[in-house]
Amino acid sequence: MEEIRSRTVVVTGGSAGIGAATVRRLATDGWSVLAGARRLDLLREVCEPVGAAAAGLDVTDEASVAEFVDVADRLGFGKLNLLVNNAGAALGVDSVEGAQEDLWRRMFELNVMGTLHLTRAFLGRLRASGDGHVVNLGSVAGFETYPGGGGYTASKHAVRALTKTLRRELLGEPVRVTEVAPGLVETEFSVVRFDGDRDRADSIYRGMTPLVADDVADCIAWAASRPSHVNIDEIVVRPRDQATATSVHRREEND
């Protein structure tokens, strides 16, 4: 346990959903946790009860990333064991022909460039620990496509390519690289995607049992807790009721 308690982790997008669940899980497991998010008030509500540190972070803004790294150094995260690149979002369900380019740009800035910014910023500190690990939150959308998902699936395919490239580039160095790719997880994800339309968001999970954020946090914690010579390249995790991005078993309400 002492070995685990000495280990440090940075989690992005820690104010809600999978990020918040990961903060709670790793802090409970004894990790020293620094979480970042734009919604600092919500982030503090997640972090304070479990003894994690919280700091403001916009992964799309390089100045914000630099300030966050400075905070990490001041708090003793100069050597880092684990970086969880969780911040990300899906925005809208535009067709390719009808694409709202501002939404596509925002998804690429958040999902792809945000992952790049944090990885680049902390890679030296991960090396310095002698036992570093990058976990990128992908999606089954990085393996599949579906109508109306062009912007999101393109960005998650890019995250997958980035992750696989990083794995090869770090071969022989003391840094592991993992992608965790969930299917349907009931968080605020769909509420954000549908611009606050709660009924439409709820319909995504109607008649089936989706994953919850803790299920994905469990995958992250498991991958990170393997012996340092073991690299879990990828974890694809879906609900039992989901076989592909669009193949979902739904039960009638009276079943």
90-144: per-residue pLDDT in tens?
A: 999 899 999 999 999 999 999 999 999 999 999 999 999 999 999 999 999 999 9
pTM of the predicted model as reported, rounded to 2 decimal places: 0.93
* Active-site annotation holds for 146: no
For the chain, the domains span: 2-237
pLDDT bracket for residue 1 (50, 70, 90): very low
Is residue 254 over pLDDT 90?
no
More confident residue, 198 or 190: 198
**Model pLDDT for residues 36-81, shown as the tens digit of each residue:** 999 999 999 999 999 999 999 999 999 999 999 999 999 999 999 9
pLDDT number for residue 191: 65
How far is 198 from 215, CA to CA, in rounded Å?
22
Buried b / exposed e along 176-206 (16+ C-beta atoms within 10 A): bbbbbbbbbbbbebbeebbeeeeeebeebbe
Is residue 255 over pLDDT 60?
no
Is residue 4 over pLDDT 60?
no
Is residue 17 over pLDDT 70?
yes
CATH of domain 2-237: 3.40.50.720
φ, ψ of residue 247 to 5 degrees: the values are -100, 100
pLDDT number for residue 30: 96
pLDDT number for residue 3: 45
Of residues 31, 122, 152, 189, which has the active-site annotation? 152
Average pLDDT for 185-199:
71
pLDDT number for residue 187: 80
